[in-house]
Amino acid sequence: MSHPLILEPQKKADACVIWLHGLGADRYDFMPVAEALQEVLLSTRFVMPQAPTRPVTINGGYEMPSWYDIKAMTPARAIDEDQLQASAEQVIELIKAEQAKGIDLARIVLAGFSQGGAVVLHTAYIKWQEALGGVLALSTYAPTFNDKVELTACQQRTPALCLHGVYDPVVLPAMGRAAFEHLKNWGVSTQWAEYPMEHEVVQEEISDIAAWLGARLR
């Protein structure tokens, strides 16, 4: 496993955002966004892990950075759940490493774009049993959420911000909305916002992320 990219803040770190990139991207993908956010979040460390490179079935078996294999697109995504679990374990190791550095769980936020978002939603609300500072779910979906899932009181206390492009052709807005509705029904403090964009990140969205993170980590 590659070492994560770590951006240390201007001041002594007392908070951390662990940010996962999307399918086919890499740990440097969100570095410009993290650098911009650190201008507001002066004591927040950003940790950006790298997904392993492996064959992706829906892309003809072509090897690319991927948190898990996607085997089929319909009706919902058919995925390799063992690989998703392994990626979630990788995130949990990063959470524990931040705890070991003295960062309070309430000041650790998980963020993920697209496939990375699916991993952080699974980590925060299925695997990890304690409350975190929050989850940023960007242009993503939750393949492991269903009506049988029951959250613990601690998991319910992790707030979420779900952001999506109205014109997203890759992860349809309805998929993101379904994840949001699950969280809301489970009693999670969650917000939904959408933007006139496709499968991407826009400046207005980054401003909203900065405000939401600032309210929790400043």
Active site residues: 114, 168, 199
Classify each residue of 102-124 as buried b or exposed e, where b means 16 or more C-beta atoms within 10 Å of its C-beta.
ebeebbbbbbbbbbbbbbbbbbb
Cβ count within 10 A of residue 143: 21
The total of other beta-carbon atoms located within 10 Å of residue 139's CB is 29
Tokens of 74: 């319909």
Give strand ranges (E) for 43-126.
Answer: 44-48, 53-56, 62-65, 70-72, 78-79, 108-113
Q: How far apart are CA 103 and CA 105, in angstroms?
A: 6
Name the 3-class secondary structure at 10. Answer: coil
Euclidean distance between CA atoms 176 and 165, whole angstroms:
9
Query: Exposed, middle or buried, 65 (CB in 10 Å: 0-12/13-18/19+)?
Result: buried
Give SS3 for 75. Answer: coil
